[in-house]
Amino acid sequence: MLACRDDEFYRAVVINYLVEVCIKAADIDDARALFRHQEIRSLREGIVARYPELVRPRVSEIMPSGQSPRFPRVVAARARTPLRLLS
């Protein structure tokens, strides 16, 4: 029974290590996939504290398909206020 707990702990530590490697390699999707398998609560909380983007929704999950999260260039250009010369 004790060996089983050790195995679970070592598995959780390896998952945290691999999540960090993925984050440093800018591979958020793989990091999220690995993070979902983290079962030890304290290790899970620690990784979320360091990398909160793992639990935030992606822009593609929030925005309807086909829409861009950025404003079109024309709208942004019109929104600028013209500069006034100081006298």
CA distance 43 to 24: 18
Q: Which has more pLDDT, 34 or 2?
A: 34
Q: Are 28 and 22 in contact (CB under 8 A)?
A: yes
Quick check: 21 pLDDT over 70? yes
Q: What's the confidence (pLDDT) of residue 55? A: 87
- Computed over every residue of the chain, the mean pLDDT equals 79
Under the banding of pLDDT at 50, 70 and 90, the label for residue 5 is: confident
Q: What's the confidence (pLDDT) of residue 6? A: 84
- Among 11, 68, 75, smallest CA distance to 44 is for 11
Q: Are 31 and 22 in contact (CB under 8 A)?
A: yes
Domain ranges in the chain? 2-79
Average pLDDT over residues 12-30: 93
Average pLDDT over residues 11-28: 93
Helix (H, G, I), strand (E, B) or coil at 58: coil
CA distance 69 to 22: 25
Average pLDDT over residues 71-80: 57
